[in-house]
């Protein structure tokens, strides 16, 4: 069964190299941080995915938001080789990320 992404939102997690290129950071992005591109799925191409970007967040080692960006124009290509993992949401997410749980 194929995953239908039309009209859904994504949180695409990218590493330091992808963040430096995507955000045109003049200095190399921090190695221990991750970036999440949050937005609505627009399509796919051979080299990546098209997302209408709502926000870009830099996350620290404990998943805390360190910095945020907006992007104009908002429809952007996120390259496959930048993506570490992705999460799919039915509607615009209020929170994204991963949290440890207790094992009972």
Q: Is 14 contained in some domain?
A: yes
Token duo for residue 32 = 């221990």
pTM score of the predicted model: 0.87
Count: domains in the chain: 1
d(CA 59, CA 13): 10
User: If residue 21 lies in a helix (H) or strand (E), which one and from where to where?
Assistant: helix 16-22
Domain-located, residue 101: no
CATH at residue 53: 2.30.30
- Summarised one tens digit per residue, pLDDT across range 9-24 is 999 999 888 998 999 8
Residue 3 resides in a domain = no
Q: How far is Cα 51 from Cα 10, in angstroms, rounded to an integer? A: 8
What is the reported pLDDT for 63?
82
Task: Work out the number of other CB atoms within 10 angstroms of the CB of residue 56.
Answer: 21
Asked whether residue 97 is domain-assigned, the answer is no
Residue 4 is predicted with a pLDDT of 85
Domain enclosing residue 30, as ranges: 9-89
Chain segment 37-81, per-residue pLDDT in tens: 999 999 999 999 999 999 999 998 888 899 999 999 999 999 999
Q: Which two tokens stand for residue 1?
A: 């069964």
């Amino acid at each position: 069964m194929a995953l239908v992404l039309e009209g859904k939102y994504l949180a695409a997690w990218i590493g330091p190299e992808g963040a430096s290129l995507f955000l045109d950071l003049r200095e190399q992005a921090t190695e221990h941080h991750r970036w999440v591109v949050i937005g609505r799925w627009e399509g796919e191409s051979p080299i990546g995915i098209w997302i209408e970007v709502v926000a870009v967040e830099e996350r620290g080692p404990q998943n805390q938001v360190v910095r945020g960006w907006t992007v104009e124009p908002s429809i952007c290509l996120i390259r496959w080789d930048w993506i570490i993992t992705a999460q799919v949401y039915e509607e615009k997410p209020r929170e994204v990320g991963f949290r440890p749980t207790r094992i009972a």
